[in-house]
């Protein structure tokens, strides 16, 4: 019996499509934390309100209400392309010959290799999610949390699109301090009318290992002898050097924990030897995964945020043709990181000295 490549592909997708979808989504902390939505349209469409004017205000009792005709919200439509990701594997033809009479056995024999390929794919996607724009169309965190570029086709350098800008504060190569963090909080508050103090449970701080390696030491290396053991001296150190622990043993600010992530790297535009601190509200983010649906027109008209929430990232297995003594294949997925509201979705303190 000759085993056709289409048979192999069919068996592998039948056996592994659902487990791989869950595996890719959960094998990396970044992907595990993101909400996933199954979007079916040709691109990921975002419909956002930039401004509104409804003639709001007090009126005298019994007065007439006149309508000018322009009392409405101003919506702007943006879109993001799909990004294709693959992770390749090879199948020795000798192995195929051994299982030619039982395609179901083939899936179990290849399970380990395909799962490792999926895990490697997850790590690569998670790393790219922190970058700017990737050549395959992925638009990452650095591009979304910004205030002077174009995101989802919306130019936020234009005054009319000011509500599409993220809050960005430049530390200018200074050490972290409570003053800088309060400045970040004040800027976010002025934009959104709430800040870290009002809703600390919404936010998570994400930063690099270098940031925590330097500033965690400030929590434990205060020399009481040099400060004469006085509380005022320790408080002064906190203000001048930026001691950040104000709850438990965690490093954070106003109840927001700072979590280190190996993928939080700085772009070339930042000062060398510095780090970034992102403070994100995950409720304004999701990872779109391309999935067939009869509601594609709804996703396009009303935005990808109307798409259903799913547990995993849809993945497929492709088996290529014969190449010598191996049959090659790959795991593939179509995804995009989406921020539905960059003004509320997060803020960044950049160029923090970690030298």
In a domain, 220, yes or no: yes
**What sign results for the dihedral spanned by CA atoms 305, 307, 313, 315?**
negative
DSSP 239: H
In a domain, 190, yes or no: yes
Domain count for the chain: 1
- Residues 6 or more apart whose CB falls under 8 angstroms from that of 110 comprise 12, 89, 91
As a whole number of angstroms, the distance between CA 294 and CA 271 comes to 48
In a domain, 160, yes or no: no
Q: Which stretch of 3-7, 24-28, 182-186, 330-334 has the lowest confidence by average pLDDT?
A: 3-7
Name the nearest CA neighbour of 336 among 146, 140, 153, 165. Answer: 140
Q: Could you read off the pLDDT of 206-238 as tens digits, one per residue? A: 999 889 888 876 544 444 455 555 544 444 444
In a domain, 264, yes or no: yes
Q: Which stretch of 4-18, 143-157, 275-289, 321-335 has the lowest confidence by average pLDDT?
A: 4-18
Residues 247-266 have a mean pLDDT of 78
Indicate whether 336 pLDDT > 90. Answer: yes
Q: What DSSP string runs through 51-91?
A: EEE---S---TT------S--EEEEEEEEE--EEEEEEEEE
pLDDT band for position 9 (cuts 50, 70, 90):
low
pLDDT value of position 146: 94
Give the helix/strand (H/E) hosting 323: strand 316-323
In a domain, 51, yes or no: no
Is pLDDT larger for residue 3 or for residue 320?
320
Is pLDDT larger for residue 298 or for residue 240?
298
As a whole number of angstroms, the distance between CA 51 and CA 73 comes to 6
Has this prediction a pTM greater than 0.85? no
In a domain, 320, yes or no: no
In a domain, 230, yes or no: yes
- Residues 6 or more apart whose CB falls under 8 angstroms from that of 95 comprise 106, 109
Question: What is the number of other CB atoms lying within 10 angstroms of the CB of residue 159?
Answer: 6
Q: Could you read off the pLDDT of 277-329 as tens digits, one per residue? A: 999 999 999 999 998 877 777 777 777 878 888 888 888 888 886 677 887 88
Q: Domain span at residue 232? A: 167-283
Residue 126's SS3 state is helix
**Can you state the percent helix, strand and coil of the chain, rounding each to 5?**
35, 30, 35
DSSP 164: G
Instruction: Tell me how far the alpha carbon of residue 2 is from its chain's centroid.
Output: 46
Indicate whether 176 pLDDT > 80. Answer: yes
As a whole number of angstroms, the distance between CA 23 and CA 263 comes to 19
Name the nearest CA neighbour of 36 among 294, 334, 248. Answer: 334
In a domain, 255, yes or no: yes
Question: What is the number of other CB atoms lying within 10 angstroms of the CB of residue 156?
Answer: 22
pLDDT band for position 1 (cuts 50, 70, 90):
very low
Residues 143-152 have a mean pLDDT of 94
């Amino acid at each position: 019996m000759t085993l056709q490549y289409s048979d192999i592909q069919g068996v592998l997708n039948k056996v592994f499509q659902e487990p791989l979808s869950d595996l890719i989504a959960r094998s990396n902390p970044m992907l595990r934390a993101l909400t996933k939505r199954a979007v079916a349209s040709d691109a990921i469409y975002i419909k956002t309100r930039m401004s509104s004017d409804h003639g709001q205000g007090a009126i005298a009792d019994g007065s007439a209400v006149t309508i000018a005709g322009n009392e409405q919200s101003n919506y702007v439509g943006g879109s993001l392309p799909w990004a294709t990701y693959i992770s390749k594997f090879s199948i020795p033809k000798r192995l195929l010959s051994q299982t030619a009479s039982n395609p179901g056995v083939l899936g179990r024999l290849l399970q380990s290799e395909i799962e490792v390929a999926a895990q490697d794919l997850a790590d690569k996607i998670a790393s790219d999610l922190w970058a700017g724009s990737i050549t395959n169309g992925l638009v990452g965190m650095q591009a979304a949390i910004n205030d002077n570029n174009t995101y989802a086709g919306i130019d936020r350098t234009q005054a009319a699109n000011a509500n599409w800008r993220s809050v960005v504060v430049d530390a200018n190569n200074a050490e972290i301090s409570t003053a800088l963090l309060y400045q970040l909080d004040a800027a976010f508050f002025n934009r959104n009318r709430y800040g870290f103090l009002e809703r600390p449970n919404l936010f998570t701080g994400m930063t690099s290992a270098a940031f925590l390696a330097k500033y965690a030491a400030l929590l434990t290396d205060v020399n009481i002898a040099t400060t004469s053991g006085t509380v005022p001296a320790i408080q002064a150190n906190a203000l001048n050097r930026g001691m950040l622990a104000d709850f438990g043993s965690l490093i954070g600010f106003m109840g927001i924990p700072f979590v280190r992530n190996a993928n939080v790297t700085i772009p070339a535009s930042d000062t060398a030897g510095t780090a970034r601190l992102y403070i994100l509200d995950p409720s304004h983010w999701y990872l779109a995964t391309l999935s067939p649906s009869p509601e594609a027109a709804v996703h396009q008209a009303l935005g990808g945020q109307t798409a259903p929430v799913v547990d995993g990232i849809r993945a497929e297995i492709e088996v290529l043709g014969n190449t010598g003594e191996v049959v090659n294949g790959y795991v593939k997925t179509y995804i995009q990181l989406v921020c539905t509201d960059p003004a509320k979705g997060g803020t960044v303190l950049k160029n923090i000295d970690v030298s």
